[in-house]
Amino acid sequence: MISEEAIGKYIRAGNVARETLELSKKLVKPEASVFDVVTELEEFIKSKGCELAFPVNLSIDNAAAHDTADIMDGRTIHEDAVVKVDVGVHVDGYIADSAITIDLSNRYNDMVKAAEEALEEALKLFTPERKVVEISRTIQEVIESHGFKPVVNLTGHKLERYVLHGNVSIPNVEYDIPYELKEGDVFAVEPFVTNGSGKVKEGGEAKIFAFLKKVRCRGDVARKILEFGEGRKGLPFSLRWMFEEKKPSVVLALRELVNSNALYDYRVLKDVEGSIVTQAEHSVVVGDKPLVYTK
């Protein structure tokens, strides 16, 4: 079971996540700086007395997830961009994870609606003893009824205290996962819709990282990164939270830590070039009446 105190913290985090996504609708516009949008959203979360569960994701067009502003990022949002804004907020380790798609082109409204409708139908099913496979089947059927493909290798995920990706996934296609939901379970549910291949691959360098284990470091920069990551209690982080310039020493230290498996690197996930991906996401507590606390 889940305590009333925990529920209160989830709800507080969820309220701030919702407000942050509302703010993103004003900030995401043609010519806007990716760095400025991401940092303003992150500062807004902190101004509300909450913490970042992960760096704000701003994934554009065929990029589905794990993209954020890099150190000294000079990118801008183009006029026809399809932008996924994914935010993670936590209060004392209790995480709210929520996302929307902003279609600046107004050409992919059907894909945006497909993700939103799949999410709405799935959220109704988060009741005790429900099998995960039933939820996945619903998501897949709704997306395919709109004439699009679900992304087969991106999933929703269980949320636990200071754990963003718990040990139970909610696939967006029908897999025979035997797990049955339990009252008080908490999940982030996130249908991804594409007009591309239906499968994302890693592309480009990582901008988001998470601590895995302590190792002996050769330099001060590597030690600083590792200590910062460990202080995150397993939650992902960005190097721009520590450094204003991408100096060679930072690049070399990062390579050392990733190669030694001290850090996990979240590489940007993309469908094929020229395709579009849309996303919708809410967080929910399992119950006879599911509590969608990011709405």
Residues marked as catalytic: 86, 97, 157, 165, 190, 281
DSSP the chain: ---HHHHHHHHHHHHHHHHHHHHHHHH--TT-BHHHHHHHHHHHHHHTT-EEEEEEEEEETTEEE---PPTT---B--TT-EEEEEEEEEETTEEEEEEEEEETTSS-HHHHHHHHHHHHHHHTT--TT-BHHHHHHHHHHHHHHTT-EE-TT-EEEE-BTTBSS-S-EEESS------B--TT-EEEE--EEESS-S--EE-S---EEEE------SSHHHHHHHHHHHHTTT--B-GGGT-SS--HHHHHHHHHHHHTTSEEEE--EE-STT--EEE-BEEEE-SSS-EETT-
Residues contacting residue 160 through CB under 8 Å, at least 6 positions apart: 166, 186
- Round to the nearest angstrom and report the end-to-end CA distance of the chain: 22
